[in-house]
Amino acid sequence: MPADRHKQSSKYTADRGMPGAFAGETVTRRRFMSGVAQGAGGIAAASFALPALGFALGPVFKRQQLDWQIIGTTNDFVETSYVTKVITIVQGIGEAGKSIAYVRKRDPAIDTEPHDQWNNWIALSNRCMHLGCPVRYVEAAQRFICPCHGGIYNFRGEVAGGPPVRPLDRFYTYEPPEGHPGHGYVYLGPRYSVNSELQRFSPRDPGEPLDGIGQYLYPSRFDTAVRPTLNNLPLPPTVPGTGS
């Protein structure tokens, strides 16, 4: 009996008494053929599934292009009120890719968040940070009002009432240095989000708080642009008749 068991467990098909076995053969033809069929099936399935998976997941990992756009000259903006600017947030899709930014000059007396080359002009997104409705700047009250659920933001875009979970998002702004053809123009760059202290975070969706544990509960997406680069600044429009 033990000898039979030993014979059964031999790696040679001939020792195991398999019909049609060849001397020295270790894999049955049936097992070989089923392995080949499974392998071919796997390759065929992968050839369908992998491109679809890549198509679906590719955009998630692709960083957004950081496009700058000129929104006016430096004289167009003042500290005491906002100018409404139509901006392009998605290129190539026409009107659907447009949005609104409220822009003013930075006022050191009230804009106490850290100052650098990216916020000489304060550019606020008009997207409410509750559920994303468009907010409207009301000059008389110096407030941003959301018509959907009564969200209110103060002059700096901080939440002053209602359900929004964080201040209005902002856009990087920039004026090129003297000598650059764009000097004297205000450029608007990518959007970023802020917490209640107006510290910068990569863009988040409405409804995602950034204070305390919120910044970890709602991490940035892989596809969001984090820092602006200056290698794709568009040139200002030429003034007819001046050659510049």
Binding footprint of ligand FES on the chain (CB under 6 A):
128, 130-131, 133, 146, 148-151, 162-164
Residue with tokens 């009564």: 150
Min dist. Cβ of residue 163 to ligand FES (A): 5
Among residues 103 and 146, whose Cβ is nearest to ligand FES? 146
Residue with tokens 């850290």: 114
**How many CB atoms sit inside 10 A of residue 69's CB?**
17
Q: Are 143 and 157 in contact (CB under 8 A)?
A: no
- Closest C-alpha to 182, from 59, 106, 69, 98: 69
Beta bridge partners of 149: none
Q: Which two tokens stand for residue 105?
A: 């000059």
Angle at 79 between CA 73 and CA 84, to 5 degrees: 60
Among residues 162 and 214, whose Cβ is nearest to ligand FES? 162
Min dist. Cβ of residue 214 to ligand FES (A): 17
- Closest C-alpha to 198, from 206, 207, 210: 210
Among residues 130 and 156, whose Cβ is nearest to ligand FES? 130
Angle at 187 between CA 143 and CA 97, to 5 degrees: 75
Min dist. Cβ of residue 131 to ligand FES (A): 4
Min dist. Cβ of residue 129 to ligand FES (A): 8
Among residues 114 and 150, whose Cβ is nearest to ligand FES? 150
Among residues 42 and 150, whose Cβ is nearest to ligand FES? 150
Min dist. Cβ of residue 34 to ligand FES (A): 58
